[in-house]
Amino acid sequence: MSGADCKSARLIEVELDESIGRSTPDVEHERAVAIFDLIEENSFRPVGDNGGGPYRLKLSISEKRLVFSVSREDGAAVVTHILSLTPFRRIVKDYYLICESYYAAIRSSTPSQIEAIDMGRRGLHNEGSQTLMERLAGKIEIDFDTARRLFTLLCVLHWRG
């Protein structure tokens, strides 16, 4: 991609629809941080869109599916993709379990034990990111770092606090 393409093939806004639901202040803070990180640095382009970005993304939940509604900077609709959340259930569940272990280990384990758990946590995060890239293939082009940030947001959407 040229410099101009890289500048326009990105998200400038991520909005959570009211269907996502609200949670505790801690969870809302984590969601805001995940969105900030995603907007701060990303590579995002709907496949086949020749009109160019930058893009706005509105996420919503419909019948246990994550809905990606993509629009242009001016609000003009580009595309909507619906992604089943089923392939992410196990990964997200395992990710939360290992995160709990990680936070418990920080309080009482040796540095090598903490590092081992953290490696497992990062591995699961990478697995979830790769699954997300595969599920969006042919729909939305993202790089691995953007997939990681989107997966973080996906996890935080599941977190109830």
Calculate mean pLDDT across residues 129-140: 96
Q: For residue 2, what pLDDT is reported?
A: 42
**For residue 68, what are its two tokens?**
């990606």
Q: For residue 4, what pLDDT is reported?
A: 45
CB crowding 8-19: b at 16 or more within 10 Å, else e: bbbbeebebeee
pTM to 2 decimals? 0.85
Distance CA 36, CA 148 (A): 13
Q: In angstroms, how far is CA 109 from the centroid of its own chain?
A: 30
Q: For residue 17, what pLDDT is reported?
A: 87
**For residue 109, what are its two tokens?**
């384990």
Q: For residue 95, what pLDDT is reported?
A: 87
Which of helix, strand or coil describes residue 111? helix
- Element at 81 (helix H, strand E): strand 77-84
Which residue type occupies 32? A
Note the pLDDT tens digit of each residue in 75-133: 999 999 999 999 998 998 998 888 888 888 989 999 999 999 989 989 999 999 999 99
Domain boundaries of the chain, sorted by first residue: 3-158
Distance CA 44, CA 78 (A): 13
Do strands 77-84 and 65-72 pair parallel, antiparallel, or not at all (unpaired)? antiparallel
Q: For residue 91, what pLDDT is reported?
A: 92
Which residue type occupies 103? Y
Q: What count of other Cβ atoms lies within 10 Å of the Cβ of residue 120?
A: 15
Q: For residue 1, what pLDDT is reported?
A: 47
Note the pLDDT tens digit of each residue in 10-56: 999 999 888 887 777 877 888 889 899 999 999 999 999 988 889 99
